[in-house]
A and B are shown apart, each in its own frame.
Chain A
């Protein structure tokens, strides 16, 4: 248990569906992140939020839409995805002053796009 909870853990969706991934952190952190991990590839940083404000978008296609309503919650809204978007989506959080920026990761949401 890392203090970062992701739901759902598994999701199967068609290319025309709209779904959302949810991340909640119980650590009092102020920064949250979305990473994508495709098969046999390194983790890719997608988005960074600091105090609810997006500070980084790593050239992510617009079919991925993040939302950060407060410092404890982060969503990734998905629409009209492609099969190549199938991957493990990982959420993380961090806090200044905590072990020099240690990131705490959730267990991930495994997405399959049919």
Chain B
């Protein structure tokens, strides 16, 4: 699986958009970009994933550059409850059930009032 690079920490004002970057310059053509987040002392939670097109769901938007070497997770209106560690993971979707995820250090997002 390709390696990802994320800033260790970021701040965001409540109500503003939070833009979390991720570099994955060695991504392969069949690898997807996944985002999870982990609120303090809880299990990680799936946010969104994509291959090359921009994706949006009820939680966030994912913008992937045309060369696919980087991506940005956007939380359009951050709230205090969005304070968490955000993980960007790149991997090939599993063909079988065993789709293990390898986590890095992630980005600690602090949303401030």
Contacts and interface: CB of A to CB of B under 8 A. Distances in A.
Interface string B2-42: 00000000000000000000000000000010001000011
B93 A101 contact: yes
Contacts of B104: 42
A108 B43 contact: yes
Contacts of B103: 42-43
Interface string A7-23: 00000000000000000
Residue of B99, B103, B104, B106 with highest tally of chain A CB at under 10 A: B99
Nearest to A42: B103
Interface in B64-113: 93-106
Interface residues on B, range: 20 to 34
Given A42-B103, A100-B49, A4 B43 contact: yes
Contacts of A92: 43
A45 B49 CA distance: 20
A94 interface: yes
Contacts of B97: 29-31, 50-51, 94-96, 101
B54 to A, nearest CB: 16
Given A42-B104, A42-B106, A96-B94, A101 B44 contact: no
A88 interface: yes
B93 A105 contact: no
